[in-house]
Structure 1
Amino acid sequence: MKKILTIAVCLALGAGNVMAQETFPRNGVYDERSGLVAFTNATIHTDYKTTLPNATLVIRNGKVEAVGANVKVPAGAVVVDAKGKHIYPGLVDMFTSYGLPEVKSERRGYGSPPQPDTEKEGAFNWNQAIRPETNAVELFKVNEKQAEELRKLGFGTVLAVHRDGIARGTAALVTLADKRENEVVVLEKAAGTLSFDRGSSKQDYPNSLMGAVALLRQTYLDAQWNAQNPEKEQNLSLNAFTTANKYPQIFEVDNKLNMMRADKVGDEFGKQYIIKGAGDEYQMLPQVKATNAPVILSLNFPDAYNVEDPFDARRVSLEDLKHWEMAAANPAMLQKAGITIAFTASDLKDKKDFLPNLRKAIEYGLPAEEALKALTATPAKLLQAENKVGSLNKGYLANFIITSADLFDKENVILENWVQGNQYKVSEVPSDYRGVYTLKMANQPERKLLIAGTPEKPELKVVAQDTVKGNISFNGKMVTLSFNKDKKSKESIRLSGWLNEENLQGEGQLPDATSVKWTAVFSEAMSQKAKSDSTKTAEPVELGNMIYPFQAFGAAELPKQETVLIKNATVWTNEKEGIMQHADVLLKNGKIAKVGKNLSESGARVIDGTGKHVTPGIIDEHSHIALDGVNEGTQSVTAEVRMADVVDPEDINIYRQLAGGVTTSQLLHGSANPIGGQSAVVKLRWGKSADEMLIKDARFIKFALGENVKHSNRSNLHSIRFPQSRMGVEQVYVDAFTRAKEYEQAWKNYNKLSKREKGKTAAPRRDLELDALVEILNDERFITCHSYVQSEINMMIKVADQMGFRVNTFTHILEGYKVADKMQEHGAGAGTFSDWWAYKMEVKDAIPYNAGIMNNVGVLTAINSDDAEMARRLNQEAAKSVKYAGVSEEDALKMVTLNPAKLMHLDDRMGSLKEGKDADVVLWNDHPLSIYAKPLKTFVDGVAYYDLERDEQMRVDLEKERMRLVQKMLNEKSGGAKTQAPVTRKARVVHCEDVEFSEEEAYLAH
């Protein structure tokens, strides 16, 4: 009867598609049956919050006609009795590549030169990573293999996203029906899609994350300008970008920091993105919530690491250990915080893990109702398709699944998936033979059979005088059993038989070869006990503490700003008071409140400074720590890129440098091009977000001279980028600032127009690159120039004088001692190394007296690091100028405190211990220029972000936490869980000359 019913339903539906195919001629007879089916006596979940027991669902012509408890079955309908079954709306996955061609991130082959320009023909954008003219619906092809895989998970509708490029065009909402492409498209343009990944583009720019951000920002501006001035340029890509912006915007990111970066771009241009996340959002929960972005969550939870070998265990970072434990709690944590979530199966290597991982997310605290909402109503609403899918309401698509039990029950089986009224069989529910039986065999004592486990994997216990485990297997109505006579015996009784109504019977063989007939009479359903157990409230999963940042030396609670009084110390003021003996420093409300003797303050935490030294925090004027990339080295001028866009607040070097007394760093672009990117100046506020670290009114930019910018040390493949000589470098500057002046004048002329005249005149195109150069001309942004050789330093000063700007700082400046008088006359400062030399040809004339000579001439001189390791001991680097150049101890300390503050125009708030300045203060155990000195406490804004005593305790706690997690993983493995091999997470330390090499460049470099 069951087989007959299935055939009947299929026949009733067979011609249900004809009505949608009227525009297609058919070679044959038209079959116009309506596909009218009524499902009765089911538990119907019409939406995520509404459940109707013993209800009826009627579908016709691929849509829902009626649903409810008292629905009358229409005449002529095929009736399906769904008693004991559940019906849910078909699930919606709003981020897939279903039906679309595979995207390969192609790069240039070995021996191929760089590609500076687009190779795409036609009136399209200049950059191939900007491809908004791509409409997924035009590339889409029904793929039955992919559709079947997704239907087995319960999905009926998916968003097809072509994951290629930064601006990716529009995505199409389609069903998983096996029909023509034009019949399964629900919304041909359901969303605009973006990322920071240039995809298949072989074009050089952008080769960095900050370049991708800048390119996207410029694209928004260009699209706005193009829409306002269509007569200026016909750009199909920009036209398409404007069109795509009308739809919901989905931005794919690969980590939580990129989520913050994407949101900033969206905020700048008034776009609220839907973020396709990476599963680590819980690690920055307050910041994620502040974006107001709905998040599409992957359920790609990591397997435990195989940590049986203690040496292998050491290879796994604390971050990875904790993420393994907490990843499954990500959905619950976001939902509890009030963040809108949806789910996708797109990142799973094995799609079969989707439902088990979803149930795991529920075990970790996600309410089942919210899980269903995230798979139905939420994606439908976000894609503006809530009147078509996501619920079972009249007029909606007949997309639904039929399950054997509650969708999230571990024993549930998805039986059928109906898409647009078409039936797709997913699986048969296994017959449930679990229960208690009385076993009778000739001349044998009665035994009890306890069949437990799951319907798919039943387990057998046989109870007589004692209890033994046995083996049992079912094949339809056929059954085989085997078990030992008793616990002491190794002789097996083997039985074979069949199901006779509720009972089992058959024939078998005893250990002595005697043949017997047997019966097993059913008495009690084991599954009833299992069901009662399943209703018990699951114990909450125990998780470790969240820490900020989410890695080693992160803390569950960040240190707080305090009122602190340091008493009786040697105080290096860097002010007219000089070095004060037996003096006090009061820190209050994040500022230096007082410096003097015999100070007191009610409620202050008093620190005994006897025998200790207090200095201003060290300031590193040239650093590359805490950055996701350092060079956008593809073009000669990349003034549009911003290091602030790629600050990584979780770089361990932040904490390490706090341990060396550093409180502020200027994070510079590298030296791959004459005009690089805009700097980021940060306070080392360990545990805070990138935005919270930034000093936003510090405005600098990196220039560079010498070997790097003309590609002296790169392969001959790079001989096509101008400049290739030091003469060419000079011309780059002249050309860039000539364009900047013309650009500035164009805006001045436009801004002088009346409102009426502006209405008739096209505004100049906004150019982010030239905006930065104009700021330099107007003393609103300041240059830090990578430099070595005196001839080029002279050239740079002459170009600056010619074009009307000033070089604020020459950095490296290892031949500064040769041109110190000219630098002083120009008004340039110096940021140099203490004694680096001979690491390449253009520094062969470096001397350790350089800083002292420039300082004596009157050049404002700082010692900087350009190196994550060196920055931990800048106090010692400053001390070298005392030894080699006879600089006074006070002046030497100023080279890493007050002088860099002056170079960065921040000396009104840092660099010295003066009332009213920021409480960026270091307490040392010894003379701060001594090799034996180490910070006991490093305060930033009055917060002790580093404390030596706390650090020692954190190391103990860190090992305890590692051991707890390792033991938990060992228990997981012993319980049969999958494991993965340990992976060493190598932290990349970037330097001035580092470039994001392509594969062939890395090969040639070696």
Structure 2
Amino acid sequence: MKKFFVFLLGLWSTSLLVAQRTFPVNGVADERSSAYAFTNATIVKDGQTTLQKATLIIREGKIVAVGTSVSIPRDAIVIDSKDKYIYPSFIDIYSDYGIPAAPRAPAAFDFRAPAQLASNQKGAYNWNQAIKPEVNAANIFVADEKTAKPLRDLGFGTVLTHQKDGIARGTGAVVTLANEKENFVIVKDKASANYSMNKGTSTQSYPSSLMGVIALLRQTYLDGQWYKNKPASEGVNLSLQAWNDNQKLPQIIDASDKWNDIRADRIGDEFGVQYIIKGGGNEYQRIKEVAATKAPFIVSLNFPMAMDVDDPNDARLVSLADMKNWELAPTNPAAFEKAGIPFCLTTADLPSVRDFYTNLRKAIDNGLTEDKALEALTKTPATLLGVYDRVGSLEAGKLANFIITTGPVFSAKTMIAENWVQGDRYNVKEEAWSDVTGIYNLTINSNGNTATFPIDVKSATQASVISKDTLPARISYNGKIVSLSFSPAKRGRSSYRLSGVANGDTWNGNGEDTSGNRVSWFATYSKATTPATDTSKKRLQIASSKVTFPFDGYGWDSLPTQKDLLIKNATVWTNEKEGRLENTDVLVKNGKISQVGKGLTAGAAKVIDGTGKYLTPGIIDEHSHIAAVSINEGAQSVTSEVRIADNLDPEDINIYRQLSGGVTTSHILHGSANTIGGQTQLIKLRWGVDDEGLKFKGADPFIKFALGENVKRTTSTSNNRFPDTRMGVEEVLNDAFARASDYQKALKGADAKNTRRDLELDALVEIMNKKRFITCHSYVQSEITAAMRVGEKYGVRFNTFTHILEGYKVADKMKAHGANASTFSDWWGYKTEVQDAIAYNAAIMNAVGVNVCINSDDAEMARRLNQEAAKSVKYGGMSEEEAFKMVTLNPAKALHVEDRVGSIKTGKDADLVLWSANPLSIYAVAEKTIVDGIVYFDRDRDSQLRKSITAERNRLVQKMLGEKRAGMPTRPAEASYQKVLQCGDHAEEEDDEVETK
């Protein structure tokens, strides 16, 4: 017999008042306390416990009992829930529900206007307006039924909400989605402390880079610790007080990218904080490193949409990485599950919350289990927020937050009938209470004539008339009202149009026949439909792309490993006293140069034939800006607290490109936007490793200084940041070292424990103590001389002057000071400061006795530094070997790593390049580039990769085209751009106002 449930709708809509409230009632109080018993249901208490034919009892907004043999209270309204499932309502841990958006800068904000150097927030708050831990979500939360309903319809009953603005965003509040006053829906007013790696709506100039954001976060942690003792010099700082108060809460940070996940975790590790990290959806690409953070994660279901790549001119601009990410992004949740990483799922970042189930099912199709999905939407977020005693499962004493469904909740055919939040019923699909499917006998009466039709009802919106030909019918059913229309003939132009009410297994009502005459009708349930066998193949977007390292066409399926190598019979340029050795072998063991000589025995080593080829040390680029997310933190004159190491980008394609040009080591410098810039990072071009793996371990740390036009911003029409002149630049240097001297004394003084730790001054103290070394952007002889004088005043040596195009004028002074030079081979005339540049500069400085390097400062030029070195053979008559040392041994000396790299010598790192011809020839190409004994670039492999990239691109293009042909939504093709960073690139100024060298 057909099952159909009818309830007293008035009782369902009763609002449960949970005891006396302070709010007065304008009228007669109606304090009802109703109990409900949901019987015969399949109750999923949590991800591990499912009860069959069980009962759930609620009273006054809470669960009273759950089980298979519970006593039903006499006053309970009994709701037979046979064939229904009851689940705990979902929890979204990352939301801004009910929170007003932070005010943004006016749309007409003039980016050429003077920079906002100080915070514009009024009151006793932090100096930086992106740090606002004093914001409490509970104080600004307003319940919003319009926003709550779509979330409830998805099955959510609780969210953690906060204001998504700023670096330190304040606290989040756990609230339910009940349509109640704010007082009654806040479950926990301070449930989390929230952070991000984006300064949000702040119009303050600092920070202007990712490394500035990280430095500000680190400094704020230190400031908070210092403020605990209430230092008189700070007065009252409500932000730091709130920061300290918030540290006891769960700490959530929005990282929004796989590499930022790792960066954020390092900040947390430094200060003993375990963040809950909101990822960016690409963690599957580096899941091993993500798992190593030991952090719980918040995972979005915002998967990229297929692009419309019909036009080949559009398709060619879409990167392979972007196409692969489209295919593989749905595997991200499953990657977390397989790696054993605790995670929550969120609706955050979805273009529309209506995409939630579509994308969740796509994730399940790609390996996420339903049990883990449920846990990620219930128990895990509740546990992380410390509210599992209130929500997250169906247990006595918890809030009555649950959903009633027609089947397993993640099944495509399942409907959510209702969502109960705090004991209040919210209808989602009322028709879901009735299983409407089946065969009905329809009888139509018209003027004494009767017509009978069997109707096959497949769902509340789909039906057909059973006859010789199956005839389509239109039906609409909501559990109470039913409407039906169909034509009785296969090609009939007129239809019956019927409407009426449903009463159990019988429907009846009125309508019109095919001639427009009024009719009456009734339909009775006859039998269940025999489900048709679905012979169609289920359409799934199953990923078949491989994750490579890096996530690029030129990446590795698995990272290459170190192997013993024997390079035989090459012309070896040693850069040592032995000079060039003809027909010589080099044996590499354990990543080091083991032997150099003739007729060496290979043993177990792989043999590489070097006959007719040249083997050299790897090229070292002393001045580079590749492999970094940001280069300049130019908002202040002194930003020695920022570190290039904090925002290395190990997937920069320029790493691979420069390996193809024989580069094995690069010195990644901060830009030239300010007098004292950030800390630099020496890297080895180990293509495929993570950011930590790039670092040249054990190398001395350096820092970038700058002089001249870039610093004083000669070309800017709106500069309001000191200094404006070269004299001012000199005084910035004086002031910085004077402050550092005072700071160092304080650290060593009697009140050292109360001295505020200052990351900016820490780096300067390292310079003064010869633990960090300066590389300085420079052009004009007068300012070079002035800088050396300031350094000597404080016992500081400028280790390297870079660019140094007037170095030939002051080479004697540089030698006396002990400075190295890192210059261009033949650049001049590109701005006022270089009018006196000459191509003989490097040779002249070298002749005076200065250690001279040729650098790139340019991602493209770095691929041919061998040719740049060759120019000094022409300009200055240098020998080939001395010229080549300017891109190998000389930069190794300037960077204090000549004991490791720069020449071919037993015991040194096996950083080697096998060239097709004399490396100073324009015809020479690097055939193999080896770092630490690992072949990271091989020209033969590169040729094969180009073919596989073409095939993989074509496969993915065809798959995207298939999405479009199948009627799936697509988005316009988007070109994949990469900005190549330069010395002068920073956020405050337009590129045409910034000198780039």
Per-residue CA distance 1:423-451 (angstroms, 9 max, x = gap): 11122235655456899999xxx999795
Q: 504-513 or 231-240: which moved more?
A: 504-513
Report what 2:61 is aligned to.
62
Q: Are 1:853 and 2:844 an aligned pair?
A: yes
Report what 2:600 is aligned to.
599
Is this contact kept in 2: 1:471–1:483, CA < 8 A?
no
Q: Are 1:309 and 2:316 an aligned pair?
A: no
Report what 1:327 is aligned to.
329
Report what 2:72 is aligned to.
73
Matches within 5 A, 1:278-293: 278-293=280-295
Matches within 5 A, 1:686-725: 686-698=687-699, 699-715=701-717, 717-718=718-719, 720-725=720-725
Report what 2:9 is aligned to.
6
Q: 703-712 or 969-978: which moved more?
A: 969-978
CA distance in 2, matches of 1:91, 1:309: 42
| Matched residue type, 1:569 | A
Per-residue CA distance 1:835-880 (angstroms, 9 max, x = gap): 0101000001111111111111110000000000000000000000
Question: Number of residue pairs matched?
Answer: 978
Q: Are 1:566 and 2:552 an aligned pair?
A: no
Is this contact kept in 2: 1:363–1:538, CA < 8 A?
no
Q: Are 1:995 and 2:986 an aligned pair?
A: yes
Report what 1:827 is aligned to.
818
Is this contact kept in 1: 2:916–2:924, CA < 8 A?
yes
CA distance in 2, matches of 1:786, 1:447: 92
Report what 2:409 is aligned to.
407
Q: Select 1:791's aligned residue among 782, 803, 808.
A: 782
Report what 1:33 is aligned to.
32
Q: Select 1:947's aligned residue among 938, 946, 962.
A: 938
CA distance in 1, matches of 2:511, 2:170: 67
Cα deviation for residue 983 of structure 1 reads 0.3
Report what 1:458 is aligned to.
462
CA distance in 2, matches of 1:440, 1:954: 70
Helix, strand or coil at the partner of 2:686: coil
When residues 122 and 370 of structure 1 are mapped into structure 2, their CA distance, relative to the original with a 3 A threshold, is same
Is this contact kept in 1: 2:210–2:647, CA < 8 A?
yes
Is this contact kept in 1: 2:635–2:988, CA < 8 A?
no
When residues 176 and 514 of structure 1 are mapped into structure 2, their CA distance, relative to the original with a 3 A threshold, is closer
When residues 973 and 447 of structure 1 are mapped into structure 2, their CA distance, relative to the original with a 3 A threshold, is farther
Q: 416-425 or 779-788: which moved more?
A: 416-425
Helix, strand or coil at the partner of 1:477: strand
When residues 610 and 457 of structure 1 are mapped into structure 2, their CA distance, relative to the original with a 3 A threshold, is farther
Is this contact kept in 1: 2:473–2:484, CA < 8 A?
no
Helix, strand or coil at the partner of 2:728: helix
Matches within 5 A, 1:570-649: 570-649=571-650
Is this contact kept in 2: 1:572–1:615, CA < 8 A?
yes
| Matched residue type, 1:458 | Q
Is this contact kept in 1: 2:589–2:933, CA < 8 A?
yes
Q: 75-84 or 578-587: which moved more?
A: 75-84
When residues 483 and 228 of structure 1 are mapped into structure 2, their CA distance, relative to the original with a 3 A threshold, is farther
Q: Are 1:840 and 2:841 an aligned pair?
A: no
CA distance in 2, matches of 1:424, 1:533: 38
Report what 1:554 is aligned to.
555
CA distance in 2, matches of 1:461, 1:588: 80
Report what 2:448 is aligned to.
none
Cα deviation for residue 497 of structure 1 reads 5.5
Is this contact kept in 1: 2:212–2:642, CA < 8 A?
yes
RMSD of aligned Cα (Å):
2.9
When residues 538 and 149 of structure 1 are mapped into structure 2, their CA distance, relative to the original with a 3 A threshold, is closer
| Matched residue type, 1:109 | F
| Matched residue type, 1:694 | K
Q: Which runs of 5+ in 1 are unaligned?
A: 751-757
Report what 1:102 is aligned to.
101
Per-residue CA distance 1:180-223 (angstroms, 9 max, x = gap): 21211111110000111112221111011111100100000010
TM-score by length of structure 2 reads: 0.93
Q: 66-75 or 110-119: which moved more?
A: 110-119
Cα deviation for residue 526 of structure 1 reads 3.7
Report what 1:755 is aligned to.
none
CA distance in 2, matches of 1:109, 1:956: 48
Q: Which runs of 5+ in 2 are unaligned?
A: 446-450
Report what 1:743 is aligned to.
743
CA distance in 2, matches of 1:159, 1:513: 56
| Matched residue type, 1:238 | L
Q: Are 1:92 and 2:91 an aligned pair?
A: yes
CA distance in 1, matches of 2:161, 2:431: 31
Is this contact kept in 2: 1:714–1:1005, CA < 8 A?
no
Per-residue CA distance 1:768-816 (angstroms, 9 max, x = gap): 0011001111111010000000011111111111111000000000000
Helix, strand or coil at the partner of 2:316: helix
CA distance in 1, matches of 2:69, 2:63: 15
Cα deviation for residue 231 of structure 1 reads 4.2
| Matched residue type, 2:482 | K
Cα deviation for residue 504 of structure 1 reads 9.2
Is this contact kept in 1: 2:133–2:171, CA < 8 A?
yes
CA distance in 2, matches of 1:911, 1:578: 13
Per-residue CA distance 1:448-498 (angstroms, 9 max, x = gap): 97958x62542648674xx6664543454332223764xxxx556845557
Matches within 5 A, 1:131-530: 131-233=132-234, 234-429=236-431, 434-435=437-438, 451=456, 455-458=459-462, 460=464, 464=468, 470-475=472-477, 476-482=481-487, 485=490, 494-495=495-496, 525-526=528-529, 528-529=531-532
Cα deviation for residue 553 of structure 1 reads 1.1
CA distance in 2, matches of 1:459, 1:197: 52
Report what 2:856 is aligned to.
865
Per-residue CA distance 1:235-283 (angstroms, 9 max, x = gap): 2111111111110000002211111111110111011100111211111
CA distance in 1, matches of 2:135, 2:443: 71
When residues 25 and 433 of structure 1 are mapped into structure 2, their CA distance, relative to the original with a 3 A threshold, is closer
Helix, strand or coil at the partner of 1:741: helix
Q: Are 1:918 and 2:909 an aligned pair?
A: yes
Report what 1:754 is aligned to.
none
When residues 526 and 326 of structure 1 are mapped into structure 2, their CA distance, relative to the original with a 3 A threshold, is farther
Cα deviation for residue 585 of structure 1 reads 1.0
Is this contact kept in 1: 2:5–2:504, CA < 8 A?
no
When residues 525 and 976 of structure 1 are mapped into structure 2, their CA distance, relative to the original with a 3 A threshold, is farther
Per-residue CA distance 1:272-299 (angstroms, 9 max, x = gap): 1001112111111111000111111111
Is this contact kept in 1: 2:299–2:343, CA < 8 A?
yes
Is this contact kept in 2: 1:648–1:690, CA < 8 A?
yes
CA distance in 2, matches of 1:165, 1:1002: 29
CA distance in 2, matches of 1:271, 1:650: 28
Is this contact kept in 1: 2:320–2:953, CA < 8 A?
yes
| Matched residue type, 1:979 | T
Matched residues, percent identical?
A: 53
Cα deviation for residue 121 of structure 1 reads 2.2
Cα deviation for residue 28 of structure 1 reads 3.8
Helix, strand or coil at the partner of 2:430: coil
CA distance in 2, matches of 1:526, 1:515: 30
Report what 2:772 is aligned to.
781
Cα deviation for residue 896 of structure 1 reads 0.5
CA distance in 2, matches of 1:311, 1:377: 48
**Structure 1 consecutive aligned stretches of length 4 or more whose deviation exceeds 4 Å:** 1-4, 229-232, 430-442, 446-452, 459-463, 490-524, 527-530, 536-540, 1001-1006
Per-residue CA distance 1:943-994 (angstroms, 9 max, x = gap): 1111100001001111111111111111122222100000001110011111
Report what 1:730 is aligned to.
730
